[in-house]
Amino acid sequence: MSKANLKVDTRLTSILGESYRSTEYALKELVDNSWDADAENVWITLPEPFTLDPIIIKDDGSGMTEKELRNEYLFIANSRTSRKGERTPSKNRQVKGKKGIGKFAGLTVGNLMTLTTIARGTKTTVSINKEEILKSKRDLEDVDLIITSETFDENIHGTEIKLTQLHQNFSFPNSERLKQILVLEFGRQNDFRVFVNGEQTDVENIPGSTLIEILNIPEVGEVKFKCTVSEKPIKHSGVAIRVDGKIIGRPESFGLEDNEEIPRKLTKHVYAEIEVNGLKDDVTADWGAIIENSTAFQKVQEIIKPKIEDQLKAEFYQQVNAQKARLAKKINLELSKLPEHRRKFAQTALDKVLKRFYESNEKADTIISVVLDAFEKDDYFEVLANIDDCMDSDISSFAEALSDFGILEMSLIARQAQSRNRFLDYFDRLTNNMEVQEKDVHKTLEHNLWVFGNNYSLMSSNETLKSIVKKYCDKEFQGDRANRRPDLLLSEGQNGKYLLIEFKRPSHTISRDDENQAEKYRDDLFQYLGKVPMEIIVAGGKVDNRIDKDFIGKGIQLLSFSKVISSARTQLTWLLKELTQPV
């Protein structure tokens, strides 16, 4: 038996400077230490409340010698990573304890912490009393700690922390809450298991609806499936595949994102594991993934994926119905304002809206208002209904009804022109940002070709034209040329003419080289389309002022974004002026 003293780093004068939101989080800090010690198993024993039994945290990690205990463990706030690096020596784990203070987290739970550690044939024990430390917090190095050492079996290693004299002013650790914290932190690890009162932390410990099934799939064998749809989004969400006790790669969405009925946000609530040892031969050499064309894995997916979807939908529709109940009063009030013949269609639209926006009352309120407003203000519906009513009336009434259609058209065109002016304001702001890329401009203008002029407003692309552009670019721009891949849009008008637009970023100045290159793109695309009339627009931040427009190739326009916006504004200004002229 001998004495030891705490060693205090100058950055800390009290080990109580670290606070924990709950006793469960304090115990989790001690489990972090087991992780850093390369343990494979941690056993936590919580006594019955209101007893004098201790809390015990025991692991099979590397343990410490007496020298390590004195010079490292008792060195308060001495950074572990500064001494030994960011990774553990045996299992190459990312170190969790970095401040050198979490090892004393047990003192926030109990007044006396007794540590027994075994390493390399030596068993060492030290006890730390919180009250003694508090009395001497300005002179921690004067606190005497009794250390005992004895020889021990060299094949055994690990550390045990025993917490006694538990504090009555803190809530007693709740085993279920502790399991929830631990499974979210360590549940996806291959070589680290945590047991609380003899039960291993598992998917089932996460709050939410849990489904557990054991299936036998032909040519695969036994498959154990556990899935919890949590009450809230969680980190490490997704579906993990476990083969021979090891997690393969990272948890993934398992194709749930392809189901249009399930909002993307809901997949963040899924925490699932599929244990299937029958896939041992279908794992990549580094155990980082399942081989892509594995037919066995495809069978597992075919059977398990619908089960997760059904579980999600059950949880999902429950929330939708709750949301609908909360909003029923508002919906019924708004629906009552619509003509009866429109209510059925409006209700259908609202059901779709609620499925997408069930998580936010505020968002749902907004969308409901927009949807119902659209149904309420369907101007064409009323005018066309009036024309229908007048078809069998006298010619004068019929002509007047048709005239109303023209007046409505003029009104809507004026409204559209005003909206387009606002769009140009936003587009101007976008193209004045030098960080904007070609793809951003492409996305903005693909369905707004009217900005280039009224003769382009009815032109559009389609899947065939997009496929042609993709096939061409994939063929011509690969390998070393991949970074020179252009951003092209190919559109077709009703007159059979084509329009090829090359988008440049706002920071790019269009040059003669760009003009020549665009012509080559047109020539190359003829092999897919035949020799057809095709105009070219190259749109970018600026056009080189040395280019004489009289010598630009036939059917080619080199346009700066400022020129495009200016021309579009001029047309809209003229249109608004004409529409507001008195008749």
Q: List per-residue pLDDT tens for the chain, 583 residues long.
A: 655 555 554 333 344 444 567 888 889 989 999 999 999 999 999 988 777 889 999 999 999 999 988 888 887 655 555 566 788 888 888 888 655 667 778 888 888 999 999 999 999 999 988 887 777 655 556 677 889 999 999 999 999 999 998 876 667 788 888 888 888 788 778 789 999 999 988 877 888 888 999 999 988 999 999 998 887 888 778 898 888 878 888 888 888 877 656 777 788 888 889 999 999 888 887 778 888 788 999 999 999 999 988 888 888 777 656 655 666 777 777 777 776 766 766 777 666 666 555 544 455 566 666 666 655 555 555 565 566 666 666 667 667 766 766 665 666 677 778 888 888 888 898 989 998 898 889 988 888 888 888 777 777 777 888 888 888 888 888 887 878 888 888 888 766 788 889 999 999 999 999 999 989 988 888 888 878 888 899 999 999 888 887 778 888 999 999 999 999 888 888 777 766 665 4
Name the domain boundary from 149, 178, 195. Answer: 195
Displacement of CA 145 from its chain's centroid (Å): 49
Q: In 10 A of CB 159, how many CB atoms?
A: 27
CA distance 156 to 59: 11
Give domain status of residue 347, yes or no. no
Q: Which helix (H) or strand (E) holds 367?
A: helix 361-376
Name the domain boundary from 143, 175, 195. Answer: 195
Q: Which helix (H) or strand (E) holds 69?
A: none
CA distance 237 to 267: 8
The reported pTM is 0.50
Give domain status of residue 368, yes or no. no
Burial class (CB in 10 A: 0-12, 13-18, 19+), 237: buried
CATH code for the domain of 260: 3.30.230.10
Q: In 10 A of CB 361, how many CB atoms?
A: 12
- Domain extent at residue 523: 432-576
CA distance 445 to 453: 12
CA distance 504 to 443: 12
Name the domain boundary from 151, 173, 195. Answer: 195
528 in the same domain as 490: yes
Domain count along the chain: 3
Residue type at position 531: K
CATH code for the domain of 32: 3.30.565.10
166 in the same domain as 63: yes
